[in-house]
Chains A and B, each alone.
Chain A
């Protein structure tokens, strides 16, 4: 190339320019790597910090004791039971609602202003701060509908909170099913609902599941809306058991019981001045973070696996 044109001087200048540009390229790729690692390193530092602060408290007793005024005897029994029950309500309320809304928007919705309005609202709800959902729940569930500061109110609040996540994930999963599948079903005389229920939904289950798991993982860690509806921070009893000894053997009294959840338990311990309670907070943090990260990991793995397996 160089012998085609220019004096050795010009060639040298061009070489120098190319070298300079390549150097910048190198420098930027270093900066990019460092910027990217900031997030990853923070994640690791955060996890290590929690584990180092809290591992001494992660014993069997910690999971089977109620909170206590003495830090060394306090545990998270009522908190993890509360989290489990609230999540149960959230899943039962939020998932069917979100999936049904997504099916409507993808398969049924005509192109009109009503559909546009619904779509705008879904996008908008995804951006509403979680604490505003808490205020909605405080005004609507706790006082207007008189549910009180109960597991039911908290579960419904979180169900509304994860609704946009479930809707968006389900829509994406449904959209990934090729149109040919639907046309094949229609061609053999299936109705719309048969097409959706027998073909579209089974094929998009993995995608929907991924979205549901990510939404639930987010709901487990949500603190602000549950504080806003007035969950208590000190609960030294369990809600009534859902299974009873007398017929009809199931009881729904637990839905109306006062409760606490893991993030609130952690928050209440963080706000105490004594160092011993901070250890408890860190241990609770480890439990929460392991739960959410495990759920996220499962979701990521599911998505990866199904993306590989499904070939249309």
Chain B
């Protein structure tokens, strides 16, 4: 501050002042950089931990057996380590969820973006946000004790744990994700394209289906793929409502464990660190991680494409 009083202060003190000002700046910048770097560190840590523990697993079980055996019974005395039943269970619950979320999510997005008045949108969007804020364990309770009994009235032979009810509830759970990403894509379609369509005498429905939706197609597909990735990684709904019995089936009326449900099931027991059973959950987690990573990468590529379209 001394050089403020004396504008023509000698050189050294000005340098000192600048240094005093700049050193903390540099330190702060470094601290902020380190904070940002944690994102990279976390990713690396996830990959290292999953791969390291999985390597221990693959020393005992061949990759071939892991990928081709049709039974997953690591906790029984007759051990089999085929990931297929868990992958099938995961894909089956996700398929049911998507069968719900894709049509409902898309129609909701079209309605919100092209039909709804400003007032309706302001009321409904917070509700949808709240729906996506409901904890998954609560959705699990709802699936097991509300939806399953309801479905059992329609399909009397439905078992208490089944993929159908878990998938349906999961589908409703991911409607908000599908709807909001699709709606963003539709909103990104420039107004003059819509106006062109209206000028030709098209109705809102025609404009929405034949003009806006095709223009936003890659964004909408990205929404579906992000929805899949969320469904694949979802844990509590399936762990509670679809059961924990690995089951290689494509019938949603049966119960089937997913990868995540298996991890939860094993974690609930007391597993000694370093055993083969302990390592199975990391191998399963690695498969889960690779599956969601694949979907996420495709989804983001699609999303990027639609962003660059205009």
Contact = CB atoms under 8 A, between A and B. Distances in A.
Interface of A: 21-22, 24-25, 28-29, 31-33, 35-36, 38-40, 42-43, 45-46, 49-50, 53, 96-97, 100-101, 103-105, 108-109, 117-118, 121-125, 127-136, 138-140, 143, 160, 163-164, 167, 191-193, 214, 217-218, 220-224, 227-230, 233, 263, 266-267, 270-271, 278, 281-282, 285, 288-289, 292-293, 295-297, 300
A266 B137 contact: yes
Contact of A108 (B32, B45, B49, B267): B32
A23 to B, nearest CB: 10
- Give the most central of B24, B145, B270: most A CB within 10 Å: B145
A308 to B, nearest CB: 12
B104 A223 contact: no
Interface residues of B, number: 89
A125 B42 contact: yes
B73 interface: no
Nearest to B240: A270
B155 interface: no
B196 interface: no
A129 B288 contact: yes
A198 to B, nearest CB: 13
B264 to A, nearest CB: 5
Q: Top 3 closest A-B pairs, CB basis?
A: A221-B135, A129-B233, A32-B111
Contacts of B84: none
B50 interface: yes
Given A35-B103, A221-B135, A289-B135, A300 B49 contact: no
Contacts of A42: 131, 172
B257 interface: no
B42 A289 contact: no
A227 B290 CA distance: 22
Nearest to B241: A270
Contact of A125 (B43, B134, B267, B281): B43
B289 interface: yes
B128 interface: yes
A228 B264 contact: yes
A267 B107 CA distance: 33
A289 B263 CA distance: 25
A237 B251 CA distance: 45
A135 B140 CA distance: 21
Contacts of A101: 32, 35-36, 38-39
A296 B235 contact: no
Interface in B17-76: 21-22, 24-25, 28-29, 31-33, 35-40, 42-43, 45-46, 49-50, 52-53
Interface of B: 21-22, 24-25, 28-29, 31-33, 35-40, 42-43, 45-46, 49-50, 52-53, 103-104, 107-108, 110-112, 115-116, 124, 126-131, 133-142, 144-146, 172, 175-176, 179, 202-206, 208, 226, 229-230, 232-236, 239-240, 260, 263-264, 267-268, 270, 273, 281-282, 285, 288-289, 292-293, 296, 299-300
Nearest to B270: A230
22 contacts: A24-B205, A25-B205, A28-B115, A28-B205, A32-B116, A36-B112, A39-B175, A43-B130, A43-B131, A100-B36, A104-B33, A104-B36, A118-B40, A130-B233, A131-B288, A135-B282, A136-B50, A218-B133, A221-B136, A223-B235, A289-B138, A297-B130
A293 B128 CA distance: 12
Contacts of B179: 39
Given A104-B33, A135-B46, A228-B281, 5 more contacts: A45-B142, A128-B292, A167-B39, A217-B133, A263-B137
Contact of A35 (B108, B136, B230, B292): B108
A258 B90 CA distance: 32
B108 A131 contact: no
Nearest to A264: B137
B263 A139 contact: no
A229 B270 CA distance: 11
A40 B127 CA distance: 6
Contacts of A129: 232-235, 260, 288-289, 292
Given A39-B176, A101-B38, A122-B39, A267 B137 contact: yes
A100 B268 contact: no
A49 B135 contact: no
A288 B288 contact: no
A131 B233 contact: yes
Contacts of B260: 129, 131, 224
A275 to B, nearest CB: 10
Contact of A214 (B36, B133, B172, B202): B133
A39 B204 contact: no
B106 to A, nearest CB: 8
Contact of B285 (A49, A132, A297): A132
A130 B235 contact: yes
Given A100-B32, A135-B281, A43 B264 contact: no
A281 B236 CA distance: 14
- Give the most central of B42, B103, B126: most A CB within 10 Å: B42
Given A125-B39, A223-B235, A104 B49 contact: no
B76 to A, nearest CB: 20
B46 to A, nearest CB: 5
